[in-house]
A and B are shown apart, each in its own frame.
Chain A
């Protein structure tokens, strides 16, 4: 499902512009959306899911115009959505919760619905907890229920907003792998501020800043933005004043700093190969 966005603007009460003339094309496959908190990612996700109406601009998903009721309904029929703040019904068991949402997604055949729910509980490793009430689930378990509900109707478009926030490292890796496996010929839009999640799963990425698109290209191209700007500085003194410190590791009585800076931040600095996070910082630090 190809997503085409042109001139998209969203202004909230109080004049807060969450999106400001956004133009973006999202192709089939896994696509990353990066940006700091408040960059407009969640607003974009909500517009694509049909929850929020844009102030102006045009969005089509798989050829369906989201500005019309018929278009929104058509998109929602093929949509899986995992919101940033996943709310669940704590009095329902995981199986009941999925069953209820499957009914809302139009899965009326009871046998097929139960089979699909069983498969997904297996995929997210919750079969053993399927008949426990959700009020007793940890954050990570709830997030797994969240991804299971998003996959219920075998969606052609999967929108996941900050899906790995709050997950432990093992769960994060399992979650990323699951998304990447699912993508195939579908579109998966992964919105996050965790750069590593995009680095590990996406081929293409867009970066938002203050409601505007500041980059769109491949992960390699974004990484390349930091070429010649990433430095390793070993010192027993204070961190370099110039640039952005990406990491700090103890090193032979001192510290080894990884710094993104347009020029050498210290006399002893030596250039190193950039990673995606460096490219993102080089882009947003301007």
Chain B
């Protein structure tokens, strides 16, 4: 447990503060809605889970690679550094999941969850936040490993998120777009595609993490000395 506590500290403030701030902003936006119809408010509340929490987790994961001041000591230790980074990613996602799960429990208990017609139930419906959170987290982690810059990786995550916000309709027009669309619960999806979409996001995330671990095995990239 001590090691996990240290990794939680290394994951940084962005990973720690991002999800609660995202939920707070989302809930505030829902109840500040000038047209407080039940369905619209419920949609914004679920949207906070499906959009804001994944963005926070994605930016948090993007900051994991490329800002470690003791990277040479890490790479010289018998514990593989990629395992350490994977722990930090797990901590980041677990914290986001805890915040999102608690928020979802409150929404279910207060009835707001059921007021959004496309809610997919209290159990499978947790994929509303879980799939995009893991998906954007994996994108952030992979981008961090490629760019070795938290700023560049965070910008990529934010750009991807923004593109999906603005191009929701074009994304629905072809199968890959529908399968990899992050906001299928609250921004609309072909009803039969929802489960496939959630599983595709999780599968893509697993693939991205696996590829990232292969990339992270090239330790000299992490100290900025690459072979010809």
Inter-chain CA distance A235–B10, complex, in Å, is: 61
Inter-chain CA distance A209–B76, complex, in Å, is: 25
- CB contact under 8 A between A15 and B69, given known A49-B76, A53-B220, A89-B10: no
- Does A88 sit within 8 A of B, measured CB to CB? yes
Q: Which residues of A contact B73 (CB under 8 A)?
A: 81, 83, 86-87, 101, 149
CB proximity to B under 8 Å, residues A10-63: 10-15, 43, 46, 49-53, 55
Q: Are B223 and A51 in contact (CB under 8 A)?
A: yes
Inter-chain CA distance A69–B223, complex, in Å, is: 19
Min distance, Cβ A258 to any Cβ of chain B, angstroms: 37
- Among A102-110, A220-228, A276-284, the stretch that binds chain B is A102-110
Q: Which residues of B contact A104 (CB under 8 A)?
A: 3, 74, 77-79, 84
- Does A99 sit within 8 A of B, measured CB to CB? yes
Min distance, Cβ B68 to any Cβ of chain A, angstroms: 8
- Does A79 sit within 8 A of B, measured CB to CB? yes
- Does B38 sit within 8 A of A, measured CB to CB? no
Q: Which residues of B contact A76 (CB under 8 A)?
A: 76-78
Interface centre among B2, B10, B68 (most CB of A within 10 A): B2
Q: Are B227 and A87 in contact (CB under 8 A)?
A: no
Chain B positions 59 through 75: 1 when the CB is less than 8 Å from some CB of chain A, otherwise 0? 00000000011111111
Q: Which residues of A contact B10 (CB under 8 A)?
A: 89
Q: Which residues of A contact B72 (CB under 8 A)?
A: 46, 49, 51, 81, 83, 85-87
Q: Which residues of B contact A92 (CB under 8 A)?
A: 6, 9
Q: Are B228 and A105 in contact (CB under 8 A)?
A: no
Q: Are A81 and B76 in contact (CB under 8 A)?
A: yes
Q: Which residues of A contact B68 (CB under 8 A)?
A: 87
- CB contact under 8 A between A51 and B78, given known A11-B228, A89-B69, A103-B6: no
Q: Which residues of B contact A106 (CB under 8 A)?
A: 78-79
Q: Are A110 and B2 in contact (CB under 8 A)?
A: yes
Q: Which residues of B contact A49 (CB under 8 A)?
A: 72, 75-76
Inter-chain CA distance A10–B79, complex, in Å, is: 25
Q: How many A residues have CB within 8 A of the partner chain?
A: 38
Min distance, Cβ A232 to any Cβ of chain B, angstroms: 43
Nearest chain-A residue to B6 (Cβ)? A100
- CB contact under 8 A between A15 and B228, given known A49-B76, A99-B2: yes
CB proximity to A under 8 Å, residues B81-108: 84
CB proximity to A under 8 Å, residues B18-54: none
- CB contact under 8 A between A91 and B78, given known A51-B220, A83-B72, A101-B73: no
Q: Which residues of A contact B3 (CB under 8 A)?
A: 100, 103-104
Q: Which residues of B contact A88 (CB under 8 A)?
A: 69-70
Interface centre among A51, A73, A81, A149 (most CB of B within 10 A): A51
Q: Are A13 and B226 in contact (CB under 8 A)?
A: yes
Inter-chain CA distance A106–B74, complex, in Å, is: 12
Inter-chain CA distance A53–B70, complex, in Å, is: 19
CB proximity to A under 8 Å, residues B147-199: none
Q: Which residues of B contact A55 (CB under 8 A)?
A: 227-228
Q: Which residues of B contact A10 (CB under 8 A)?
A: 227
Min distance, Cβ A94 to any Cβ of chain B, angstroms: 13
- Does B204 sit within 8 A of A, measured CB to CB? no
Q: Are A11 and B220 in contact (CB under 8 A)?
A: no
Q: Are A79 and B228 in contact (CB under 8 A)?
A: no
Q: Are B228 and A103 in contact (CB under 8 A)?
A: no
- Does A174 sit within 8 A of B, measured CB to CB? no
Q: Which residues of A contact B226 (CB under 8 A)?
A: 12-13
Chain A positions 89 through 124: 1 when the CB is less than 8 Å from some CB of chain B, otherwise 0? 111100010011101111000100000000000000
Q: Which residues of A contact B70 (CB under 8 A)?
A: 86-89
Nearest chain-B residue to A81 (Cβ)? B76
Inter-chain CA distance A100–B84, complex, in Å, is: 11
Inter-chain CA distance A96–B51, complex, in Å, is: 36
- Does A251 sit within 8 A of B, measured CB to CB? no
Nearest chain-B residue to A146 (Cβ)? B73
Q: Which residues of A contact B77 (CB under 8 A)?
A: 76, 101, 104-105
Min distance, Cβ B135 to any Cβ of chain A, angstroms: 29
Min distance, Cβ B37 to any Cβ of chain A, angstroms: 46
Min distance, Cβ B219 to any Cβ of chain A, angstroms: 5
Which A residues are closer than 8 A to B by beta carbons? 10-15, 43, 46, 49-53, 55, 73, 76-77, 79, 81, 83, 85-92, 96, 99-101, 103-106, 110, 149
The 3 closest A-B pairs by CB, nearest first: A87-B69, A81-B76, A83-B72
